[in-house]
Amino acid sequence: MTTRSVLTGRRIRNLARHLGFFELGESVSLGLLVTAERFTAVERIGLTPAEHGLTLLPVIRGPVSRFNAEGRYLIRRDESKETAYRTVRWKWIERHGDERIEREEWKDVPYLRYPRIFVSPSSVELSLVQDDAGAFTVTAPSLPYDPQSAELLHQVNLFLELFGEVHVLGAGRVHLNAGDERRVNWQLLPHGEVPWDVLRAHLTPVFERARSQQKRAFLNERLEALAAYGPEFTVVGAGGFTGYVLFAFPQRNLFVLESALYGNATYILRGDWEHLATLTKADLLRGDLHEARVPHQATWGEQLKAYLA
């Protein structure tokens, strides 16, 4: 496989300056030729073991890969503030004569903030392809050249953030057929009812994504509550899906997608696991695919009962 150009550095801002040798609309294929020196970096993003067709959403290594996996919020400081809610653990003491009883529960506390608009993640997945000589290349989906293309600019900067370089592939590129893709965005945990303490040990990477002790406590309650409903199986996200857990109730044609990211939501999905496992994160979170979205608020448990009780 040949390369037309090699870009290095941390980020570019001008496509025309670096890829101006392409004609408007010409197909651009980006990748990274995997050498022995680069293999550690490839393994670090989750593309292991090396085999043709291995495909995943890469792990988060910086702002570009974070937007790729999680999206971002645009804060509208030009608009008036709105009321939002922060879920906190509320503790108080009840007095019954001489007896003091400590109580606690989750409360939604209002506060003012500027409106936010969610920008969906780019969800660019990377794949390993192997040529006839046995050499591997990390590739991304081809895109038409346009010097104003935000998608193409994102792909370039994603490679630069993850690997420090990106190869503009030329003639002889091995194309990956849809049937060759083997997505590894999810890891299947043991089937059947698993005790919570055993399941929790498998979910350590999920808890690591919660950014405070209180958020971890709220996450623990949500995950334990979902596990108590007895899912047939549970899968945890890998790569850029790290922090997500899917509880499967196929007998009810129901799947519950939970996230460690506080302020996100629990998604109620219908369908079959074989299909859901092939979807990008952007597809999974798209409004027309989930039946319901249960916000991470104090009433979360009660709202969930409508679907699982």
Structural contact between residues 221 and 296, judged by C-beta atoms closer than 8 angstroms = no
Quick check: 1 pLDDT over 70?
A: no
Q: Dihedral sign for Cα 301, 305, 306, 308, please.
A: positive
Q: How far apart are CA 51 and CA 32, in angstroms?
A: 15
pLDDT in tens, 74-101: 999 999 999 999 888 888 888 877 888 8
Q: Vertex 247, ends 141 and 259: CA angle to 5°?
A: 65
Average pLDDT, the chain: 88
Q: How far apart are CA 173 and CA 120, in angstroms?
A: 30
Q: How far apart are the first and last CA of the chain?
A: 55
Q: How far apart are CA 219 and CA 200, in angstroms?
A: 11
Structural contact between residues 109 and 7, judged by C-beta atoms closer than 8 angstroms = no
Q: What is the arithmetic mean of pLDDT over 111-136?
A: 91
pLDDT range class, residue 125, cuts 50, 70, 90: very high
pLDDT of residue 12: 96
Quick check: 288 pLDDT over 80?
A: no
Q: How far apart are CA 104 and CA 106, in angstroms?
A: 7
What amino acid is encoded at 11 in this protein? Answer: R
More confident call, 81 vs 274: 81
Quick check: 28 pLDDT over 70?
A: yes
pLDDT in tens, 166-224: 999 876 566 777 678 888 889 888 777 778 888 888 888 888 888 788 888 899 999 99
Q: Vertex 304, ends 216 and 110: CA angle to 5°?
A: 60
Query: Residue 22's CB: how many other CB atoms inside 10 A?
Result: 19
Structure tokens at 113: 């903030």
Q: What is the arithmetic mean of pLDDT over 236-259?
A: 90
Q: Tell the burial category of 152 from Cβ atoms under 10 Å away from its Cβ (0-12, 13-18, 19+).
A: buried
Mean pLDDT is highest, among 2-6, 190-194, 203-207, 246-250, for 246-250
Q: Vertex 289, ends 204 and 61: CA angle to 5°?
A: 40
Q: How far apart are CA 27 and CA 23, in angstroms?
A: 9
In angstroms, what CA-CA distances link 129 with 2, 35, 274, 281? 14, 13, 23, 22
